[in-house]
Chain A
């Protein structure tokens, strides 16, 4: 079983998810087995305005541990990250970074910005 540890800048308690990458997809948005796929399937909200199609940066996460165990980023992801607010050297797009390794142990950090992107209901 792969392990995904999720930490929040907002101070929300850490969540630990264990899952079998071979069973992906776990829901319908983002690459099968991506961080977004795993989080959404486990009730953790991560914005994904473009539907997980690598066309925005709303699913931006920072990988604190295990980045070498994730699928490599492609040019389209790099181009978008280039424009992401709060970019770090281990930033990834949650919808593109796939956990394939069944023994992977990954720690991701969800910036506050990634959660509070919508300022409320205007109508």
Chain B
């Protein structure tokens, strides 16, 4: 069941000029599944805007949530959130969404994240390695350059610790081609599971590449922002 809560902005971490993590302290424990999002109720221009943000932290941390967001040019919601100072209240409802991985993966699992699209994938990935069944876990992260991939140090550390996990970076514009090269043209195995997240048309484009290649509909989960 979803609840409405007032989070308090406890810390801000910048990942670059226009990407930032906000850490929200919570008055009560908050239960969610890896991949879910909260819906922020932002008071902007005399109205309340509903803006969803994926939870980038893990459910094991019940009293503090992390969201990671881009400053969208001209975007009222992201500008409001970027303008908040530590101590500010952020009202939200949640958890919401069915783009979720909360059990041990039953097959090789491939995560495809473009930019901030890694937010919901991060707790899924942590859950995936923690329930380690030895099934391969792969992450393909789209970003302008490898050193722009969010959480790259953490991803490197996970890859060192869990041999079943590997990740790679590709330029965002090359994501769909790389997906086709690796998991469509690469072999005839169609048993993998996919989780795809990002902004805009790239997400359904990758979904279509995979489903048209013979992966089952329910094996290709995605969330388009």
Chain A, interface residues (CB within 8 Å), range = 20 to 34
* Contact yes or no, B51 A123, CB < 8 A: no
Answer whether A120 and B3 are a contact pair too, CB < 8 Å, given A29-B50, A51-B39: yes
CB distance from A113 to the nearest CB of B (A): 11
* Contact yes or no, A50 B97, CB < 8 A: yes
CB neighbours (8 Å) of B134 from chain A are none
Residue of B nearest to A58 (CB): B96
A interface, by DSSP: helix, strand, loop or mixed? Answer: loop
Q: Choose one: A28, A49, A57, A123; the contact of B2 (CB below 8 Å).
A: A49
CB neighbours (8 Å) of B17 from chain A are none
Q: CB-CB contacts of A57-94 with B at 8 A, as 1s and 0s?
A: 11000000000000000011001101100000000000
Answer whether A50 and B28 are a contact pair too, CB < 8 Å, given A56-B96, A58-B96: no
Answer whether A123 and B26 are a contact pair too, CB < 8 Å, given A53-B225, A76-B224: yes
Q: Check: B157 CB closer than 8 A to any chain A CB.
A: no
CB distance from A63 to the nearest CB of B (A): 21
CB distance from B10 to the nearest CB of A (A): 14
Would you mind naming 6 contact pairs between A and B with Cβ atoms under 8 Å apart? Answer: A53-B224, A54-B224, A79-B217, A79-B222, A122-B4, A122-B27
Interface residues of A (CB under 8 A from B): 28-29, 48-58, 75-76, 79-80, 82-83, 117-123
Q: Which 4 A-B pairs have the closest CB atoms?
A: A123-B27, A49-B96, A49-B39, A83-B98
